Amino acid sequence: MGKRVEWVDMAKAIGMIAVVFGHAIHPMTDAHHSVSVLFGVLYWWHMPLFFIIGGFFLKPIEQNLSAFKRFFMHRVWPNIKMYFGAGTILILLAHFLRGHSWHYTAWYFLRLVYGGRTLNKTLTIFLVYYRLRFDVNCRGYFN
């Protein structure tokens, strides 16, 4: 393990606190305008912060088709299979356990394809898990 970069650790800590705080105040955004503004301000910068910091530690990969195929098949494709496989299981479980209509379930499958903030309610924790799995799978390409 290399030497830790203190300012990076501090930036990550600030970002993590912003994420937790943003999730904590989210239920109050409809009731209070100032909380809604604070929520919007937090979401302008906290996720880009993680992408910027992560970019500092990327290792370059070879710039040819075989290296891209290798990266895709070993790092991206397993994540795509996990994303859709786990998402399908969660959506079908929610369908049968909560008694949703097939129309509602089909709509949730479209939301799974689209991703992002549309994955709420049953699939909220899925976003966290998938992001963690993607980070772990791509660890070989980071310092």
| Strand, coil or helix: 74 | helix
Torsion of CA 114, 120, 122, 127, to 10 degrees: 70
pLDDT, one tens digit per residue, over 54-107 is 777 777 778 888 888 888 898 788 888 888 888 888 889 888 988 889 998 898
| Strand, coil or helix: 129 | helix
**What is the pTM for the complete model shown?**
0.53
